[in-house]
A and B are shown apart, each in its own frame.
Chain A
Amino acid sequence: GESVGLHLPTLSVQEGDNSIINCAYSNSASDYFIWYKQESGKGPQFIIDIRSNMDKRQGQRVTVLLNKTVKHLSLQIAATQPGDSAVYFCAENGYGNKLVFGAGTILRVKS
């Protein structure tokens, strides 16, 4: 979910379990949403996106769910692996050419 201040929420999961990372977005007019993965010292990496005319989209081991009624977005990662450990950001595009990013969630995978 969204964080307040400098303390990012952390999700710890056991290797092999499924992970669910949540995000609340702010603009009901947003029509495009993206999930990014950021590893330490690197730029964010695109994972998956979804447009507002859909409520679910699947990729390889990842699924994004969109609930426009409550302005909620989630990322599900199946069979979480140690390489999935990173900070995950959601972003919404309801502002023309601009994306607005959430503060991020730390995913820690325990072996």
Chain B
Amino acid sequence: SQTIHQWPATLVQPVGSPLSLECTVEGTSNPNLYWYRQAAGRGLQLLFYSVGIGQISSEVPQNLSASRPQDRQFILSSKKLLLSDSGFYLCAWSVRGNQPQHFGDGTRLSIL
């Protein structure tokens, strides 16, 4: 069966520090991969999605970037974190676009 792993579960970072969140999927090949951010009491905002290695689509202009160095690995990065980058970050995968997306358990990021 397929599984998705995100780490770390929680992270506290100072303003201006770099960020790297990692997501890996097991049990499937060539998945679509997604990064979302969820603010408290809100729905999910799509940040990036990828349909293949090295292919990244950005949905909103921001201080973050994403990379897909391997088929089942998706990384969310920032060179310098802002206070506004705080939130709950979720990674998801799907077989293709018109199929259910399956989510990891997220990373709660707090910026001080």
A43-B90, A44-B90 known; A6 and B106 CB under 8 Å?
no
Q: Which residue of A lies closest to B32 (CB)?
A: A97
Q: Is B97 an interface residue (CB 8 A)?
A: yes
A102 to B51, CA, bound (A): 24
Give the residues in chain A near B26, CB-CB below 8 Å: none
Within 8 A of A (CB), among B56-107: 57, 59, 90, 92, 96-98, 100-106
Interface pair A46/B102, CB less than 8 Å apart: yes
Q: Is A59 an interface residue (CB 8 A)?
A: no
Give the residues in chain B near A46, CB-CB below 8 Å: 100-102
Q: Is A83 an interface residue (CB 8 A)?
A: no
Interface pair B59/A34, CB less than 8 Å apart: no
Within 8 A of A (CB), among B20-51: 32, 40-44, 46, 49, 51
A55 to B108, CA, bound (A): 37
Please count how many residues in chain B sit with their CB below 8 Å of the partner chain's CB atoms: 25
Interface pair B90/A6, CB less than 8 Å apart: no
Give the residues in chain B near A44, CB-CB below 8 Å: 44, 90, 103
Interface pair A101/B43, CB less than 8 Å apart: yes
Interface pair A103/B51, CB less than 8 Å apart: no
A6 to B6, CA, bound (A): 27
Q: Which residue of B lies closest to A100 (CB)?
A: B46
Within 8 A of B (CB), among A1-28: 6-8
Residues of A participating in the B interface, judged by any CB pair closer than 8 Å: 6-8, 31-32, 34, 36, 41-46, 49, 89, 93, 96-104
